[in-house]
Amino acid sequence: MVLFYQGLGFSGVQIGLLMGMFPLVAMVGAPLWTGMADAKGRHKLIMSLTILVTVGLAIVFPLLKTFAPMVLLVMLYSLFSAPITSFADSATMTMLAGEKEMYGRVRLGGTIGWGLVAPVGGALIQAYGLKLAFWVYAGLMFLTFIISQKFTFGQHVEGGTLRGNVRQLMADRRWLLFLILAFTGGVAITTINNYLFPYMEELGASKTTMGIALTLSTIGELPVLFYANRLLNRFKAYGLLTLGMTITGIRLLLYAAFNFPAGILIFQFLNGMTFPIVWVAAVSYAYENAPEGMKATAVGLLAAVMFGIGSATGGFTGGLLLESIGGRGMYLVFGTVVLVCVLIITLLERRQTTVLPRRV
């Protein structure tokens, strides 16, 4: 998207605004649509609507040339695309029924798809330009729409409303602690995704080395997602989430400590023990601990906090730190903050369990 905006001649400020809008609007869009689906019991209809509108907006993207219409288009795209993953996760957990710990193996398809399509997409864009990317994306999302018609969702509970469902979830103190941990995860993961390549460039790494780093991180996800069910059975959802967040904090500190390209490549294998574990555990916890009839709302709220508020905070703060103290200092700060937050939340969660029994 940055390359596309640069090709249109947008300024750095304009690009920053457009890139920053997505997580902020998604923060509203994900819980809005999933909450409405739970309240009305029309999950498949609302999911289908969001996918089809996203397809249409993707086709329009390469047709626009000026900034003001692009702002409106990005807002609409962010609003309608935000809940799609949450709907898919909620449906997946429902269809797995008594084998919900196998979610990781289903999610493995996403990693394989990413690894297969990334080089093909790169070659196509190199040959035919960035516009093709939007149209291929629209075609693949329409295929997603067709496949999603076979999804099934949880039972509808009469009398629920979007506002009431969110209020009920937020009234649970353990849910608040869980969402704070998810927010911290969103900040940390965004820092890795957005600023690793600028940091590697700061260290003198070549573009080829950056590509290798991305490949290694993808490879690192495969065994973790395949055996995620064993990890869930061993640590339970909340325990696995805490473990993943702890490793994420350590990974950030290792980036700061081994500030040379070869060191960065080694620690890319840790990616399998960070984002995949954090997301699998977070989705499992949100689904299992949401009241009946509020499963999609819970997963949508998780996505809003992690990839909405968390991503926006990590993106903005990371940019400031990168410019002021450099990549090494930025990762040192974020790694320390993540580990301190995990420690505090763990202590508060344990104190909470002395009053109320622990959940999964």
Model confidence pLDDT, tens digit, residues 194-251: 888 888 888 888 877 877 888 888 888 888 888 988 998 899 999 999 999 999 999 9
Both structure tokens of 144 = 């997603």
Encode burial over 198-217: b for 16+ CB neighbours within 10 A, e otherwise.
bbbeebebeeebbebbbebb
Model confidence pLDDT, tens digit, residues 172-202: 788 889 999 999 999 999 888 888 888 888 8
Q: Are 165 and 175 in contact (CB under 8 A)?
A: no
Mean pLDDT per 10-residue run, the chain (360 residues)?
83 81 86 88 94 97 94 95 92 89 89 80 81 92 96 72 65 84 92 85 82 82 88 91 94 91 85 88 88 81 87 84 88 95 91 59
Q: Are 300 and 86 in contact (CB under 8 A)?
A: yes
Q: What is the per-residue pLDDT for 60?
A: 96
Q: What is the per-residue pLDDT for 161?
A: 57
How would you classify residue 237: left for phi > 0, otherwise alpha for psi between -120 and 50, otherwise beta?
alpha
Q: Write down the H helix ranges in the chain.
A: 2-7, 12-40, 43-60, 67-81, 84-96, 103-128, 131-148, 162-170, 173-202, 207-226, 228-257, 261-267, 275-289, 295-304, 311-353
Q: What is the per-residue pLDDT for 10?
A: 87
Long-range contacts of 16-20 (CB under 8 A, 24+ apart): 17/71, 18/70, 18/71, 18/74, 19/315, 20/312, 20/315, 20/316
Fold of the CATH domain 2-151+161-353: Growth Hormone; Chain: A; (1.20.1250)
Q: pTM value?
A: 0.76
Q: Are 288 and 90 in contact (CB under 8 A)?
A: no
Q: What is the per-residue pLDDT for 130?
A: 84
3-state secondary structure of 270: helix
3-state secondary structure of 267: helix
User: CB under 8 Å to 171, separation ≥6 — which residues?
Assistant: none
Q: What is the per-residue pLDDT for 353?
A: 65
